[in-house]
């Protein structure tokens, strides 16, 4: 590939990753550089491939639930929710209202936790080392709620097909409310550190622009799409798990750059707090799990269920052949599809920008490679 | 014996030895302070394991670095790779020669002291460029290129900012600059009806860039270039780069203190009645207070030797505080106290800045350097020259 460079010098090929501080795991990006300017990028993925979709074909439906947590391990509860909803739809076995409310609370707390990890690492990539520790402090509180609820902090396996395994613990509502009360001033604190910071604005404004049309071409979803001005949120568009009962806004921005994605995610955290407050205020009484047969054996058929995960549209396509094991499970991971836009966004940027751009996509390599 | 002690080269010689052998230790403790201050900003504890509150961490780090395997990459230019960190360390330590720690304590009073400091920091870049080039690694090369561009541009702003201070003092000698502040009874940062604050701020920003520290730490931006120019360095050679970086930090802070903050002078150096509060009460309260503070802290430590260590440290601090109350001793050490106190304040603010701001991008850094800093520093020279002329 002969590309015109400054002074006709040879282009410099820089191999960034798979072991690099800011590729968020084992992403490998091969950069073609002209000085500091990026002429082209080449993404190499698959270093964390574990064959999750193939494993699904050799496990029964309930046995596969813990595996989905290992895909997007930062937002494992969302993954579990998506899979459980898919199998429930396949079996026509809706979860009871109490289970739905608890699912919404935990999923939204997980969204906050996921966005906190994103904020901390993104700020660290840009060079602000301090916000990381603040966000980890708040994430810890969310993880404590998960731990009290189901014993695990990261790969929680919180939900079961048909509802929940566990009843909420004593003091669950109070702890969630206390978290919501603490979270709002904390988000203000992050915003004082970053939102109006001149260096932060200079580094993010106008970087990694991906317009609404381009987002649609790539299939990009989630905060990246909303930062381009498209009011698209699956929680509103195709409500699941009782999201239609809660009032919340879809934050959108117009400029489709890294800064707008930052603003959108910050506002999403506020909206999540709002949803959690409404959900925790009236958790209905009743059973926590539907009448699930001992052996989960759906009738032959196929189903696609997608939810709004923190990173975008997370879809599960489950095909049943009538046995107790799925015939095929295909995951539509938001990170993997959002990552495809990296080359488009990075072209013509500087090395420092590619770090910001990788950060703004908010990838989790476990989900990209599966 | 008498002849040796009274020899004109005796004090400079002893000072040189103290700096060359003492500064590595000081740098180690600067690292500890930096880690502790950053930890404080980041709601965590920082090093806590080696000694009470991590007090012996620098020693442990130094030992670790010394006994580490010395790796020289196969494809590197070995002699230059070997030599480059020495250039950086040598130049950084040479700058110490002209720093006046007190009215009499210094290696040399050169009549072009400031020129030597800026010349040495300019030559120090060579160590970084050569190190990055000799590593034969892309990350190192990019780091070295950035570093060269950055240092050359900010060198200009730095020198122009210093020029205002030199104009106010009318001399290039570091000792004479402080003495002139004493005779005017005013730190130069407040001189010219407060207009000197502009070159002071310029100097401070340029100094952060000059020492490659956040938010201008592009040459070693760890999230982009892994570790920049010293990516391939390890062990003691890496420690030399580290040493030179902290030496540079100390030197720019010292120059700032000398030119703008009145060097070894106390605040309001000519107001006599302030001598008791500033020269006696303040240092004594500072040292005795921190000493006394150690006692309740020691109770919380779980390990008995650590408690004992902290109590001994507390007694030493109280002892030093007591020394400041003896007029004879006070006279000898108060200048050094004020110099190091001000340098500590300057270094603390450098660390504070690092903990607060994100990093600039390469082109933004250049824009600020050439389009903001240099014109501002030039304008400051013009304005301060006019005010100086009007005053005289």
Whether B106 shows a pLDDT value over 80: the answer reads no
Chain B hits for A123, Cβ within 8 Å: 358
* Contact present, A363 and A73 (Cβ < 8 Å): no
Q: Where are the alpha helices (DSSP H) in chain B?
A: 2-6, 10-41, 57-66, 78-94, 113-134, 138-169, 174-184, 197-210, 222-225, 235-260, 275, 282-299, 304-323, 327-356, 362-367, 374-391
Q: What is the pTM of this model?
A: 0.84
Helix (H, G, I), strand (E, B) or coil at B70: coil
Query: Which 8-state DSSP code applies to residue A253?
Result: -
Q: Which residues of A242-269 are buried (b: 16+ CB within 10 A; e: fewer)?
A: bbeebebebbbbebbbbbbbbbbbbbbb
pLDDT at A4: 56
Residues A274-314 have pLDDT tens digits of 999 998 888 888 888 888 888 888 888 889 999 988 988 99
| Contacts with A230 (C-beta within 8 Å, 6 or more apart), sequence order | A212, A215, A216, A252
* Contact present, B151 and B125 (Cβ < 8 Å): yes
Per-residue three-class SS string for A133-158: HHHHHHHHHHHHHHHHHHCCCCCCCC
Whether B281 shows a pLDDT value over 70: the answer reads yes
Lowest mean pLDDT among A328-337, B10-19, B349-358: B10-19
Cα–Cα separations (whole angstroms), residue B87 to A176, A354, B38, B120: 58, 33, 30, 10
Q: Which residues of B touch A (CB under 8 A)?
A: 38, 41-44, 138-139, 142, 145-146, 214-215, 217-218, 221-226, 354-364
CA B101 to chain centre: 13
Lowest mean pLDDT among A27-36, A94-103, A231-240: A27-36
Query: Which 8-state DSSP code applies to residue B160?
Result: H
% residues pLDDT > 90 (chain B): 1
CA distance A58 to B301: 54
Please tell me if residue A19 touches chain B, with a CB cutoff of 8 Å.
Answer: no
Closest-approach residue (CA) in chain B for A15: B138
Please tell me if residue A24 touches chain B, with a CB cutoff of 8 Å.
Answer: no
| Contacts with B151 (C-beta within 8 Å, 6 or more apart), sequence order | B121, B122, B125, B128, B209, B210, B212
CA distance A64 to B199: 66
Closest-approach residue (CA) in chain A for B44: A133
| Contacts with A14 (C-beta within 8 Å, 6 or more apart), sequence order | A30, A31, A33, A351, B138, B139, B142
Instruction: Work out the average pLDDT over A207-212.
Output: 86
Whether A331 shows a pLDDT value over 70: the answer reads yes
Chain B hits for A20, Cβ within 8 Å: 226
The reply to whether ipTM tops 0.95 is no
Whether A12 shows a pLDDT value over 80: the answer reads no
Whether A268 shows a pLDDT value over 60: the answer reads yes
Chain A hits for B146, Cβ within 8 Å: 36
pLDDT at A8: 58
Residue with more model confidence, B331 or B116 = B116
Q: How confident is the model at residue B221 (pLDDT cuts 50, 70, 90)?
A: low
CA distance B13 to A266: 60
pLDDT at A157: 86
Closest-approach residue (CA) in chain A for B220: A127
**What are the E-state strand segments in chain A?**
12-16, 28-34, 37-44, 159-160, 163-164, 301-309, 312-320, 326-332
Helix (H, G, I), strand (E, B) or coil at A187: helix
pLDDT at B226: 67
pLDDT at A361: 87
Instruction: Work out the average pLDDT over A130-142.
Output: 89
pLDDT at B109: 78
Ordered by where they begin, the domains of chain A are 52-334 (1.10.645.10)
Whether A21 shows a pLDDT value over 80: the answer reads no
Using CB atoms, pick whichever of A137, A194, A351 lies closest to residue B224. Answer: A351
What does the block give as tokens for B211? 């020492």
Residue with more model confidence, B269 or B202 = B202
pLDDT at A112: 92
Tell me if A22 and B225 make a contact (CB, 8 A cut-off): no
Instruction: Work out the average pLDDT over B105-110.
Output: 77
Using CB atoms, pick whichever of A14, A127, A137 lies closest to residue B223. Answer: A127
Residues A125-134 have pLDDT tens digits of 888 888 889 9
Tell me if B360 and A199 make a contact (CB, 8 A cut-off): yes
Chain A hits for B356, Cβ within 8 Å: 128, 130, 193
Instruction: Work out the average pLDDT over A113-120.
Output: 91
Instruction: Work out the average pLDDT over A175-193.
Output: 89
| Contacts with B289 (C-beta within 8 Å, 6 or more apart), sequence order | B321
pLDDT at A1: 44
Cα–Cα separations (whole angstroms), residue B155 to A362, B364, B370: 38, 17, 11
Please tell me if residue A169 touches chain B, with a CB cutoff of 8 Å.
Answer: no
pLDDT at A2: 47
Say how many CB pairs under 8 Å bridge A and B: 85
Tell me if B364 and A193 make a contact (CB, 8 A cut-off): no
pLDDT at B52: 81
Tell me if B359 and A203 make a contact (CB, 8 A cut-off): yes
Tell me if B358 and A133 make a contact (CB, 8 A cut-off): no
pLDDT at A273: 92
Q: How confident is the model at residue B223 (pLDDT cuts 50, 70, 90)?
A: low
């Amino acid at each position: 590939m002969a590309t015109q460079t400054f002074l006709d010098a040879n282009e410099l090929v820089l191999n960034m990753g798979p072991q690099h501080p800011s590729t968020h795991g084992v992403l490998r990006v091969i950069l073609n550089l002209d000085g500091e300017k990026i002429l082209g990028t080449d993404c190499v993925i698959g270093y964390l491939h574990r064959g999750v979709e193939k494993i699904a074909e050799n496990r029964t439906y309930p046995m596969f639930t813990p595996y989905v947590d290992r895909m997007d391990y930062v937002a494992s509860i969302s993954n579990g929710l998506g899979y459980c909803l898919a199998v429930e739809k396949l079996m026509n076995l809706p979860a009871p209202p109490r289970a739905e409310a608890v699912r919404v609370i935990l999923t939204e707390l997980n969204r906050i936790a996921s966005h906190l990890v994103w904020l901390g690492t993104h700020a660290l990539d840009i060079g602000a080392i301090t916000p990381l520790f603040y966000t980890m402090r708040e994430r810890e509180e969310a993880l404590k709620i998960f731990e009290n609820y189901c014993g695990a902090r990261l790969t929680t396996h919180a939900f079961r097909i048909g509802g929940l395994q566990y009843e909420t613990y004593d003091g669950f509502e109070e702890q969630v409310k206390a978290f919501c009360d603490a979270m709002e001033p904390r988000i203000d604190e992050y915003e004082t550190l970053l939102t109006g910071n001149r260096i932060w604005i200079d580094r993010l404004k106008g970087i990694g622009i991906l317009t609404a049309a381009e987002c649609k071409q790539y299939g990009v979803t989630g905060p990246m799409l909303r930062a381009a001005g498209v009011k698209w949120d699956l929680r509103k568009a195709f409500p699941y798990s009782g999201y239609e009962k809660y009032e919340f806004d879809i934050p959108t921005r117009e400029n489709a750059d890294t800064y707008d994605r930052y603003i959108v995610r910050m506002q999403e955290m506020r909206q999540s707090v709002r949803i959690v407050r409404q959900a925790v205020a009236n958790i209905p009484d009743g059973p926590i799990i539907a009448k699930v047969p001992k052996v989960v054996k759906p009738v032959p058929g196929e189903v696609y269920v997608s939810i709004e995960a923190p990173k975008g549209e997370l879809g599960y396509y489950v095909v049943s052949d009538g046995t107790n094991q799925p015939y095929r499970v295909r995951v539509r991971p938001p990170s993997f599809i959002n990552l495809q836009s990296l080359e488009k966004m990075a072209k013509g940027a500087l090395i420092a920008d590619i770090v910001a751009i990788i950060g703004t996509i908010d990838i989790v390599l476990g989900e990209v490679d599966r | 014996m008498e002849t040796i002690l009274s020899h004109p080269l005796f004090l400079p010689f002893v000072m040189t030895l103290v700096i060359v052998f003492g500064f590595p230790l000081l740098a180690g403790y600067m690292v500890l302070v930096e880690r502790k201050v950053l930890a404080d900003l980041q709601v965590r504890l920082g090093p806590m394991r080696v000694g009470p509150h991590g007090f012996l961490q620098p020693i442990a780090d130094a030992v670790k670095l010394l006994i580490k395997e010395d790796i020289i990459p196969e494809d590197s230019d070995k002699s230059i790779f070997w030599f480059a960190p020495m250039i950086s360390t040598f130049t950084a330590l040479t700058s110490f020669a002209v720093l006046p720690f007190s009215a009499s304590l210094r290696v040399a009073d050169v009549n072009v002291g400031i020129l030597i400091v800026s010349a040495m920091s300019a030559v120090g870049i060579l160590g970084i460029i050569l190190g990055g080039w000799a590593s034969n690694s892309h990350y190192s090369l990019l780091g070295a290129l950035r570093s060269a561009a950055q240092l050359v541009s900010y060198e200009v702003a730095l020198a122009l900012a210093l020029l205002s201070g030199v104009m106010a003092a009318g001399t290039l000698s570091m000792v004479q600059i402080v003495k002139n502040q004493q005779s005017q009874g005013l730190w130069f940062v407040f001189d010219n009806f407060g207009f000197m604050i502009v070159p002071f701020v310029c100097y401070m920003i340029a100094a952060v860039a000059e020492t490659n520290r956040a938010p201008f730490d592009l040459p070693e931006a760890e999230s982009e270039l892994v570790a920049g120019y010293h990516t391939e360095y390890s062990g003691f050679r890496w420690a030399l780069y580290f040493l030179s970086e902290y030496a540079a930090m100390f030197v720019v802070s010292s120059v700032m203190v000398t030119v703008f903050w009145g060097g070894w002078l106390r605040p309001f150096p000519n107001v006599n009645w302030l001598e008791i509060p500033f020269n006696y009460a303040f240092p004594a309260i500072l040292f005795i207070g921190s000493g006394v503070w150690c006692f309740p802290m020691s109770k919380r430590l779980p390990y008995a030797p650590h408690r004992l260590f902290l109590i001994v440290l507390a007694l030493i601090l109280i002892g030093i505080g007591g020394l400041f109350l003896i007029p004879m001793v006070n006279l000898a050490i108060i200048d050094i106290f004020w110099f190091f106190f001000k340098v500590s304040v300057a270094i603390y603010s450098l660390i504070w800045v690092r903990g607060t701001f994100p990093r600039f991008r390469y082109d933004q850094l250049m824009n600020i350097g050439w389009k903001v800093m240099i014109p501002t520093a030039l304008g400051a020279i013009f304005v301060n020259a006019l005010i100086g002329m009007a005053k005289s």
